[in-house]
A and B are shown apart, each in its own frame.
Chain A
């Protein structure tokens, strides 16, 4: 994930920090970032008042006890990932933080309408570039950006997807800027994960704060699996009779818990590639009683691995012949193949323009400000402000081909400037982003930690967003890295009904 690599380098950049007040907030520092609980004058924001009251009355070891109960529950449920060391594989739980992150009804309304608008535009865009290519003829985006993308699937040209919905499940990463506005950091249009943590967190945190939960009017999210099932069913004419399966890479995948969880909660089959076979362009699962036809596949495998005959031939996770069955219209795959072309760094920068182009509306949710070096005005701005910006190569990921201005030497900046000038189309630049902070239970007290927000959008016949999200939290002080592989954890997200 591009952002995390940057964020890692930016760790510790937080401005002058000041403590808030006494226990349990003794180590709570407010910096330049927006804080979810305290306003700039260190007063508790109204929607956090009940949580504040609860924290002030609870004994510190009581919080600790509840935290442990949460962790034990995760361990027993098997919500773990495996860490391999020299001799043994040990299982760790994904750290979960007890304290809910609270989102007001007004904030949520804006997020919800903004996300619906965005997914609508992105689906228009995918339909267009795999169809007539109107947006390219009109010169809104350069052709090379699409046709040159490694995520563009030529094989998808002309394939009719049900309801024209390419992205059926989307997990958009939002962050809150210093001014308090939610902005989109990344659209995850391929196989976004994390929704099982949203639901598992809710389960344990509601048990930890039952009275608070009831008193605050938190909107329920438990219907997510039902909504997902409805969205998948809507992709076939068979509706109730549709035979649906979740396709997982298998038990060694880090998101396996989620795949099994969703299959169980929806009451559908969980299959691996080896369970499926294709005959005469029809997909079957191998059962004890014989072969059973499959109509819809909610796939949790990347495009590249889904069919060794069409994509990567060394893939053993996929199903030979699956793509032809898909093209023939005998099976629906959700998300559609080829959606990755719309969530890369360069296209990201164009999403506000795509919203205006397809919907004739102004974007409700902003992007993180992004300068495209291919545009002369932006290029000169970027070159003049290299020391303040993060510059990234479009085709790279994982922190390669990147300059973090505030951390670079003058010589590095100059060398990088030459690279950008030589190939401006390949570079974009963004200002450094301060994620907002939220109260987090750390070492027996409550401290501020940086968080992001990942709501999940379902899109079949209609668009549905369950009022909740995965809030990821960087557990290390000052760190902006929310990724679970690098010391990140997660929190329950409470969307209030009023």
Chain B
């Protein structure tokens, strides 16, 4: 596979994951705010904004309309929903010939539907609906990709991008909630519930741990559950698996550089005890996960995508 193509597949997938994350956070937040007191709703807005790194693009005052506008439709906010979708589509267009017709058309339609939407109309009736529909469309796209694209190298670059992005996004969400708890501004029962919903984890969590909401169990579930698709461990496993399948013909020394990093990350999530983390080391642990994801990203680039030609001639 051309290195440029791998690059576009990888980023297309990262941007789609980011779009899905943004859409879900907005939808869950809009749905849950009706059940919260004003103060609680305000402080959880600030966590959503921080989780999406959008502090510079939304007003500091907790104005739900303006914040939603900024998170979803602000074209100057690099993490806005519409911009993530546009970036995903631009990358898809670069590799149009590698994608199935169905994948391209679904992505294109999704973008074209959302692109002209005006906030006033969204706000009028059922603000969360648009974001739920977008999530639905993104899930459809995921299914279409799964069933129409060959699960070859390109597919594994999609997997790699999606799960590197997801591991980092979930880590950041956990960091914001447990960081606040450590700083004495403990999230309330309802906030923990919302955290689970931010990760589509409420029902799977209940199945695993019953409906008893305990921060320690939430952390354990979102970090270390091996089967839940939005846990950090699940994503790390997918990343490791994807790395086994990309660049099959690359020289062993370069593959080793990437796989060593992946193995280290896997060891971190496989052999860390939640009890140790809950005694205060969760923040540095989450930082470490994020940093290791970045290192893997860089190693993939220097080994497979942006390598110097002189090194292979």
Contacts and interface: CB of A to CB of B under 8 A. Distances in A.
A498 B241 CA distance: 58
A257 B96 CA distance: 8
Interface in B253-310: 304-305, 307, 309
Contacts of A275: 2-4
Contact of B251 (A75, A78, A287, A290): A290
A312 interface: no
A290 B104 contact: no
Interface string A53-77: 0000000000000000000000111
Contact of A288 (B1, B94, B98, B101): B1
A286 B97 contact: no
A269 B248 CA distance: 18
Interface in B45-101: 90, 93-94, 96-98, 101
B112 A272 contact: no
Given A260-B96, A264-B97, A288-B247, A76 B4 contact: no
A97 B49 CA distance: 48
A279 to B, nearest CB: 5
Nearest to B7: A288
Given A287-B2, A289-B247, A76 B305 contact: no
A264 B96 contact: yes
B164 interface: no
B4 A263 contact: no
Interface residues of B, number: 30
Given A75-B112, A288-B304, A289-B247, A271 B309 contact: no
A251 B93 contact: yes
A277 B104 contact: no
A269 B2 contact: yes
A285 interface: yes
A289 B108 contact: no
Contacts of B6: 288
A291 interface: yes
B93 A78 contact: yes
Contact of B312 (A75, A78, A257, A290): A290
B254 to A, nearest CB: 9
A261 B98 CA distance: 10
A394 interface: no
A386 interface: no
Nearest to A276: B2
A256 B94 CA distance: 9
A270 B104 contact: no
Contacts of B313: 279, 291
Contacts of A272: 4
Contacts of A264: 96-98
B174 interface: no
Contacts of B101: 77
A290 B249 contact: yes
A278 to B, nearest CB: 10
Interface in A234-270: 251, 256-257, 260-261, 263-264, 269-270
B109 A76 contact: yes
Contacts of B133: none
A428 B4 CA distance: 47
B246 interface: yes
B2 A289 contact: no
Nearest to A88: B75
Nearest to A290: B312
A76 B97 contact: no
A289 B97 contact: no
A298 to B, nearest CB: 13
Given A260-B97, A264-B97, A290-B249, A76 B309 contact: no
Contacts of B250: 288-290
A251 B5 CA distance: 13
B4 to A, nearest CB: 5
Nearest to A265: B97
A274 interface: yes
B149 to A, nearest CB: 13
A263 B97 contact: yes
Contacts of A77: 101, 104-105, 108
A78 B250 CA distance: 34
B153 interface: yes
13 contacts: A76-B105, A260-B93, A263-B97, A272-B4, A274-B4, A286-B2, A286-B307, A287-B1, A287-B3, A288-B153, A288-B246, A289-B1, A289-B250
Given A286-B307, A287-B3, A289-B1, 8 more contacts: A77-B101, A78-B108, A261-B96, A270-B97, A271-B2, A274-B4, A288-B305, A290-B312
